[in-house]
Chain A
Amino acid sequence: MSEQMKNTALFVLVFAMIALTGIMQSWNVALLILNMGLISAIMALGVNLQWGFAGLFNVGVMGFVALGGLAVVLTSAAPVEGAWSAGGWRIVIALLAGAGTIVGTVMVRQRMAAGRARNIATIVLLLGGFFLYRGIFDPGVEAVEAINPALQGNLGGLNLPVLMAWPMGGLLAAGVAWLIGKTALGLRSDYLAIATLGIAEIIIAVMKNEDWLARGVKNVVGLDRPVPYEIDLQNTSSFVNRAEGLGLDPATASSLFVKLNYSILFAIVLVLIFVAAQLALKSPWGRMMRAIRDNEVAAEAMGKDVTNRHLQIFVLGSAVCGVAGAMMTTLDGQLTPGTYNPLRYTFLIWVMVIVGGSGNNLGAVLGGFLIWFLWVQVEPMGLFLMELITSGMAEGSGLKKHLIDSAAHMRLLTMGVILLLVLRFSPRGLIPEK
């Protein structure tokens, strides 16, 4: 069987499973899986850029996904009336002062000779800068958060169309990734992993606590949508007529129509990013990246700037994750910082890349769809399995109830088993790198 046929067969298999879901459960569920599968595939492409192309061990995916979500609020939400004049500028000035402190300290450290005087200067500058920053920052935050706290209390956004938020999500993630890369990328692979793990937690902590930014754990709901609302469709006579022509009731038809619209939008983004990633992989730049990945020392001896190339691909990969994060928040219609969890948003994406085939873009996309499908469907499958196992047990027994209740936790177990099996028996993934 030729390679192309095998790959096609794998994709057909995954989409057939999704279609089967549509026939057996409902098309709504199938489209939900498809939409999140598309987003997952984009996230997997981002991680594949970093890990597959360059061998960067980034386990902070969650942070960049969340930043993408934040960008949706900052771009598309309406600005909160009076927030900027009340304290918004103050916050901006405080943040600039904070950044200035750090830059100033670094510059002073470069100018001064090493020794006690330099250490004292560093500490004095940092402490002084911190109190200055808090001094400007706190009143501003208080003023902004006092505005209509039950519904707003944040700065709001730029009121731009929500589709603009997707590239903005990428830009925001890229900017933060650049800052992180500048400090952390020199680290060895294990250290980089732990550092990125920490950064992701910090990004989430900031989003949860800084209410002025996007209301923190109070969540922002009712974000704009790039597609029509179901209720509007149901009130449009032409849509209702067409739905009835297809033999569907308007409620189902409208919800399917909206999801299909999302699918088309997401598919366009996926194709764009996939093509770009393929071109990058096959370009001289991509070959250089793989050369660096396979032997850093040799690549450096050939005159390649390893540090800067690493920084470049770290920023690019994170930007892709940011775009996916923005798309996800748009799909949800709300930003809920409390729901970001590293198992789901970092490690699951890693499972997708490893299972699909690291270093191969097609593999990453396949992994995204397949693993997402399993992540959703393992729960009902587990429930079915548990009911089968416990069918012989006495009705109302404690163990039976426990087993059935615990079926929901099967998905983590399954993901672990899949990851270990693939690593053991097919370490290069389903579609290996060429």
Chain B
Amino acid sequence: MSLKEKLVSSFLAFELDTNILSNVHKIRSQSIKEFEKIGFPNSKDEYWKYTPVKKILNEKLTLFNKKRHLIEFDKVKDFFLNGIESYKLVFIDGMFDPLWSDTTHEEADVCILSSVLEKEKYNDVISKYYNKLVNSKESFSLLNSSFSKEGAYVHVPKNVVLDKPVEIVHINSGGESSLMLQPRSLIVLDKNSKAQIIESHYSLTSKSESSLNKADDFIDPLTNSLTEIHINENSNLDFYKIQNDIETSSIIDNTYINQKSNSEVSCHTFSFGGNIVRNNLNFFQDGSNINSILKGVTILGANQHTDHHTLVHHANPNCESYQEYKGIYNDRSTGVFNGRVVVDKIAQKINAFQQNNNLIIGDNATVNTKPQLEIFADDVKCSHGCTIGQLDKEALFYLKARGINENDAKGLLTYAFANNVLENVKMQVLKSKIKKIIADKIGVNLGFEL
């Protein structure tokens, strides 16, 4: 049986086991029907041309966890922000872990989606916002809509500035083979509100451990994640995605963001590894005077693969978008950047900027980068640029002439290349955490504190 057939046939059994509101049931049934029709994409599909998705669609994948795995705190404490208070939603192998989580229902709701989906009192919010932004022709989104039942729920009411950042942490315990996880998050910011959210994916199935603990037929987890984000008028969200320590795991991530007038969203994606990682980041500007900021740093090695597909849809006048993605590719790693910008005919006075710079360090690394501008308005400013190259020789000489040895100089320049994208990260603890991860990934010994 193919994975598709297996998933479709398991739907009913799965659904019986799920306690949710009836309108959500409807969404799930429709989604699986649609998925059955279109199935998985393949490399002939332009949208998936450079990402060998077939590689991770193992027919042994399953939606059913065999048991709950416990993890010692010592192993995961570095996954959290240290030194500041935060709300926490922790999921281990897709299941909520209340022990390390810190939820709230006081000035805002920060809790798990499963409990929201089963309670009548959330019916209004769910009917208004759940599954409203999702592309109904995208296989993985449909699959998530069919099977997801757990994830984060963040609702910030109007005029509230959330007092602490929210950490949504997904951890693969590595204790179970063949897991296919379907985390689903819903984030709603009402008018005049503000929040900072960090979503991170970690895996305890690193290569070194896997050879010791795992059987030969161990199949690494595939996470198919979907996040819907609704930003209402005058609101502001800083969203950070961290994909780290997932050497052998794979992630397909679909994030849909809808912005109303006078709102600003910045989304940083830090992709630091993974067997196959695909990020589909979709912005829809549903109003005027909107600013959308998309930034990314990708650092890969070995045979890792990361694919960023961004879409910014300018549907209204007087808005801005700013995209800056940088990639550093070692060994035989491969990267894709496909930045699509759509400007509707009525969307005049748009300022859209897009930049993708890549540093190829490994002799066998590959990058495919493609700006895709579809502009139907005539009074707009859209620019894009991409580079693929090596470290600048003159810069290298400059550093060496100051007494910095070649290796350190290369490391420092590589670090500088990536570090330059972090200027919009407002949370200081997060900024230094990311800087440390970057320095660590590059393997540079910096002569200064971060």
Are chains A and B native binding partners rather than an unrelated pairing?
no
